[in-house]
Amino acid sequence: MESLTELVQFMQPSQRLDLKKIALTHVLVNIFMFHLTLNADSISEIILFLVGLTGTEEGKCAILSVDDLLTALFHLTADESIALAKDAVLALINLTADESGAIKVYNTSREMQPVTMHSLLHIQLVHNFVLLQAYNLIAAAISHIINENSNLADPWSMVLSNLTREESIAYGTLDILDENPAFMTQLIKAFTKLQYNKNKAKLDYLGPIFCNLTQTHRGRELLCRSKGNLLDKILPFSTYEESIIRRGGVIGILKNICFDSLYHEIILREPDDILNVILYPLCGPEEFTDEENELLPMELQYLPDTKTREDDPGLRKVLLECLLQLCATRKSREHLRSKGVYEILREYHKWEQQEGRHKDCLLACENVVDILIKKEEEISVDNYKTIEVSKDMKEMFIQEDEEYLKDPL
Residues 6+ away with beta carbon under 8 Å from 80: none
Is there a cis peptide before residue 271, judged by omega within 30 degrees of 0? Answer: yes
Q: What is the pLDDT of residue 12?
A: 45
186-200 confidence digits (pLDDT tens): 999 999 999 999 999
Q: Which of 10-24, 102-116, 260-274 has the highest mean pLDDT?
A: 260-274
pTM above threshold 0.85: yes
For the cut 60, the answer to whether the pLDDT of residue 100 exceeds it is yes
Residue percentage of the chain with pLDDT more than 90: 64
For the cut 50, the answer to whether the pLDDT of residue 128 exceeds it is no
Q: What is the pLDDT of residue 196?
A: 98
For the cut 90, the answer to whether the pLDDT of residue 66 exceeds it is no
For the cut 80, the answer to whether the pLDDT of residue 4 exceeds it is no
Q: What is the pLDDT of residue 308?
A: 97
Judging by beta carbons within 10 Å of its beta carbon (0-12, 13-18, 19+), is residue 151 exposed, middle or buried?
middle
For the cut 50, the answer to whether the pLDDT of residue 124 exceeds it is no
| Average confidence (pLDDT) over 74-79 | 84
| Average confidence (pLDDT) over 38-63 | 73
